[in-house]
Amino acid sequence: MLDETVQQQLLDQARRARETAYAPYSNFKVGAAVLTAAGEIFSGCNIENASLGATICAERVAILTAVAAGHRDLTALAVVADTPDPVAPCGLCRQVLAEFSPDCRVLMANTAGRIRLANLKELLPLAFRWPPPKSGEGG
């Protein structure tokens, strides 16, 4: 369970990160923030590239920044964009998050303040795992 103060801190950092997004092609600016088990928050924004395959999502920037700082136990992720409904992480970001935190709480929000909270397992029930789980261990 995420306490409301921590939720607000995550959302605030994600909103601030969104302001630095580099999105000249889509103009779809996204901010994200990830909470580590140690209580540290790392943020990220989406960074587009003329070669669209080189574009990286805000969620992955935040996750990879935390990992690069030595944190692999992530407990929550917040993502914010200017969308009618709370924005959800794309499938690729969900899979990257599952690598480090299969039980992560995910806060999805829009710039109007609407929020949806879910568990990553709800958003990605059959995440890819290697090595594959043994029969009966689930996916």
Cα–Cα distance, 40 to 71 (Å, whole number): 9
| Residue 136, pLDDT score | 67
| Torsion sign across C-alpha atoms 71, 72, 78, 80 | positive
Q: Is the pLDDT of residue 139 over 70?
A: no
Q: For residue 133, is it within any domain?
A: no
Rounded-to-integer distance, Cα 29 and Cα 61, Å: 13
**Mean pLDDT across the chain:** 95
- Inside any domain, residue 137: no
pLDDT tens sequence across 31-68: 999 999 999 999 999 999 999 999 999 999 999 999 99
* % the chain with pLDDT above 70: 96
Residues designated as active site? 59
pLDDT at 18: 98
Phi, psi of 98 (to 5 degrees): -65, -30
Indicate which CATH number applies to the domain containing 69: 3.40.140.10
Smallest CA-to-CA distance from 69 within 108, 107, 105, 35 is with: 35
Whether 135 shows a pLDDT value over 80: the answer reads: no
Q: What is the domain count for the chain? A: 1
